[in-house]
Amino acid sequence: MKQTLPIVGMACSACAAHVEKTLRSLDGVSSANVSLASRTAIVDYDPQQVTPDNMKASLNAIGFDMIVSSDESVETIEQREYVLLRRKTLLSWLLALLTMAVSMNMLHIGNRDAANQVCMMLALANIAYCGRTFYVNTWRRLRHGVTDMDTLVTFSTAITFIYSTFNTFFGDAFWGSRGIEWHTWFDASVMIITFVLTGRVLETKAKRGTAGAIRKLMGMQPKTARVVSAGDDGMEEYREVPMETIAIGDILELRPGEKAPVDGMVTMASSFMTDDAAYIDEAMITGEPAPVAKRRGDSVLAGTVLTQGNLRIRARQVGEHTALAAIIRMVQQAQGSKAPIQRTIDKVAMVVFVPVVAAISVLTFIIWCAVGGMQAQPQAILSAVAVLVIACPCAMGLATPTALMVGMGKAAQNQILIKDATALELLQRVDVVVTDKTGTLTIPNRQIDFTKADALPLEERETLKPFAREAVSELKDMGIDVHLTSGDKPEAVAFWAAKAGIGNFHAKVLPQDKEALVKALRQDGHCVAMVGDGINDTQALALADVGIAMGKGTDVAMDVAQVTLMGDDLRRIPEAILLSRRTVGMIRQNLFWAFVYNVVCIPLAAGVPFLFGISFQITPMWASAMMAFSSVSVVLNSLRLNFSGSTR
C-alpha cells in the first residue's frame, strides 16, 4: 500500500536523503520518496512485512520522527513545533544580545576575565537549551555514520565555544606568553545558533504559503453533517454528527451555503424556481463557474456548495474514498514526489557535500597554520569555523522542492491535477500536442438518434467545446504544433479541425494508430503531450511524454495520464505548459543562486582575499546570517509563482 506520512526533524536535503535511504532499507518497503519542502514521505510498503511504527522506530534511531498516530492532526503538531521553535529563537536572540553587550563592555561587568566568564555562561545556556536539538541529532546520526546540516552547526558552535572557554582561563598563559593577541568568540557561537533558528522560523512561515493549495482543498471538507433519520414517534429528526460517523447509505440534508460532506446520490431536490431541482456550485472541483442543476438520481461530490434550494443525498462514498479526498491525495503525492534533478542533488548532499565541506574546513585551518605559523592559529580557527557554517546545503536542497510545491499547488487551484514532479518537468518541453476529437475537443449531442446521424449537419451531431479555438491559438502562439486524431470520417474530422484552427488532422484512426502517431512524433525528436478522455486513447496516453486526461473522461484514461484537467476548458492545456515553464525556470534560478552563493562565499569565509592583500573575511557570525538568508530567499523566490498571473 502507498501512504503519505509526515516527517519531523528534517532541516536540509542531506536530512531528506538520509530519511529516504533509511526507509528504503527496510524489508517490505518497495519505494520511498521524501520531500524536504512538504516534510513528508510517500512510502509504498507491504503491511505484512513492515508497519509505520517500524518506520518510525528506524527514523527515531537516527534523530528523526514520523507521525503515525491519528490522535492529532498534522497541522496541530506542526503548529506546536512552530511555537516551540519560535520560543527558542526569541530566547536565543535575548541571550545573543546580552552576550554581545557584555563582550563589548556595554554593561560594564568589570575586568576582561569576568566579562568572558559571563559570556561563557550565556553561551552555555544558549547551547544547552536553544541549540540542544542540533547536538542531540548530531550524536544520534554520527552513531549511524550520517552527517547533515546539524553536524555543521554542532561542530562550528562547539569549536568556537571550546576555543573561547580555553582562552577565558588559559589565554594569557598560552597565547600571551608567546606574544600572540587572543580573543573569545562566545558571541559568534551564540549568533550561529540564533541565525540558524531564525532562518528556520522564517523558512517554516514561508513554507506555509507553499502548502496553500492543500489547505484550501482540505477546507472544502466540512467537519460535521446533518443526518436525517426516523425518530421513535415516526417523525423525521435531524442530527449534527461528526464526519467520521457517517456511513454509506445515510441520508444527509444540505441547506443553501453548505458543503456536501460526502459523495452521494440525490434523493430529493427542490428550490423556489422548480420543484425537482436544486443548484450546486462545482467550481472548486471542475472549474465550471455556473451552478449545476441537480435532480433526483444525480450525483453530488464532496466539497461542492449548495447555492440554491434544498437537497437530500444518500451517501455513496465517505471519508478518504470521496473524489475530493482522492484529489487531495494526488496533490499531496505530487508535491512530495521528486523531479529527476532533485534526486541528483539529494545524492550529492548525502554523499559528497558535508564531508567535502568538513575537508575544506580542515584544509583551511592547515593552510592558515602553514602560512602564518603559531601567530595565525586564532585566524585559522576563525576561518575554519566560518567555512563550516556558510557552506550548509540548505538553499540547494530547497531550490527544487519548494518551487515544485508552489507550482503544483497553483496548478491544483486552477483545476489542473499533476500526478508527479517528472510530469511537471516534462510539460515545459512539450512542442507537439495530439488531441482526440469526440469528448475531448467536441461534445457529442446525450439527444439525437445516432441511427439517423449521417443525415444531420455536422453542427447538430456535436458541438465544439467552449474556448477550444482559443486554446489551440494559445498553443500555436507558444510554438506548439497541434494534431487532431479521430476514428470519425475524414469530412467530419476536417470540419472540426478547421473550426478549432488545427491544421494537422488524422481521420478513421484506431487506438493503435493513435499510438503509432505519438511514437512517430517522438522518434522525430518531439516532446509529445497526448490529450484524451476514453479507453481508446489509453495506449497513446501511456506512450506520450505527458498524458493529459479530461476530468469527465473514463477512469482508465485518468489512471494512465500524468495530468488530469477538471472540467471542459481546454485553455488549461496551455496554462499547464506555461506554468511548467515558469516552475522549471524558477528551479533553475534557485539552483543557480544557491550554487553561486556557495562558490562565492566559501572562499570569502576561508579568508582567500588575504592572499591578495585584501583585509576582508566573512566571520562565523555573519556566515550563519548569510546561510539562513540564502535558505529563506529560495523559499520566498519560489512563492513568486503564486503571483505569476494567468496565461490569459
Q: Summarize pLDDT for 496-507 with one digit per residue, the tens.
A: 999 999 999 999
User: What's the pLDDT score for residue 252?
Assistant: 92
Mean pLDDT of 70-74: 61
Helix, strand, coil tally for the chain in percent (to 5):
55, 15, 25
239-288 pLDDT per residue, tens: 888 888 899 999 999 988 888 999 999 998 887 666 788 888 877 666 56
**Cα angle 242, 248, 252; round to 5:** 55
Residue 554 clears pLDDT 80, i.e. is over it: no
Higher pLDDT, 625 or 251: 251
| Interatomic CA distance for residues 393 and 390, integer angstroms | 9
12-21, 122-131, 245-254: least confident range: 12-21
Q: What is the mean pLDDT of residues 420-428?
A: 86
Q: What is the pLDDT of residues 196-245, one digit of tens each?
A: 888 788 777 766 655 555 666 667 778 888 998 876 666 788 888 888 88
Q: What's the confidence (pLDDT) of residue 366? A: 94
State the pLDDT confidence band at 185, using cuts at 50, 70 and 90: confident
Residue with cell 536523503: 17
Choose between 51 and 180: higher pLDDT.
51
Assess whether pLDDT exceeds 90 at residue 76: no
> Which DSSP letter does residue 438 get?
B
Query: Quick one: three-class SS letters along 257-320?
Result: CCECCCEEEEEEEECCCCCCCEEEECHHHHCCCCCEEECCCCEECCCCEEEECEEEEEEEECHH
- How confident is residue 648, by pLDDT bands cut at 50, 70 and 90? very low
Tell me what pLDDT residue 11 has. 73
Whole-angstrom CA distances from 50 to 4, 17, 28, 44, 167 are 15, 20, 6, 11, 52
Catalytic residue among 436, 488, 545, 568: 436
Q: Which residues pair with 523 in a beta bridge?
A: none
HEC sequence for 456-481: CCHHHHEEECCCHHHHHHHHHHCCCE
- The mean-pLDDT minimum among 153-162, 234-243, 350-359 falls in 350-359
pLDDT in tens, 449-460: 655 656 667 777
Q: What is the pLDDT of residue 458?
A: 76
Percent of the chain at pLDDT exceeding 70:
87
* Whether 449 is catalytic: no
Give the pLDDT band (50/70/90) at residue 192: confident
Q: Please give the Cα distance from 361 to 380 (Å, whole number).
A: 9
Of residues 525 and 625, more confidence is placed in: 525
What whole-number distance in Å separates Cα of residue 477 and Cα of residue 119?
A: 65
pLDDT for 34 equals 86
pLDDT at 141: 84
Asked which of 244-248, 292-296, 340-344, 353-357 is least confident by mean pLDDT, the reply is 340-344
With beta carbons less than 8 A apart as the criterion, state whether 19 and 7 touch.
yes
**Mean of the pLDDT values across residues 521-533?**
93
pLDDT band at 129 (very low <50, low <70, confident <90, very high): very high
pLDDT at 417: 85
Task: Report whether 98 contacts 104 (CB < 8 A).
Answer: no
Do the beta carbons of residue 305 and residue 299 sit within 8 Å? no
- pLDDT averaged over the chain? 84
Residue 204 DSSP one-character state: H
User: What's the mean pLDDT in 582-609?
Assistant: 87
User: Mean pLDDT across the stretch 291-316?
Assistant: 89
How far apart are alpha carbons 220 and 263 in whole angstroms? 13
Q: Which residue has the higher pLDDT, 474 or 568?
A: 474
Predicted confidence at residue 647, as pLDDT, reads 44
C-alpha cell at 218: 482540505
**What pLDDT sits at residue 592?**
86
The percentage of residues in the chain with a pLDDT greater than 90, rounded to a whole number, is 29
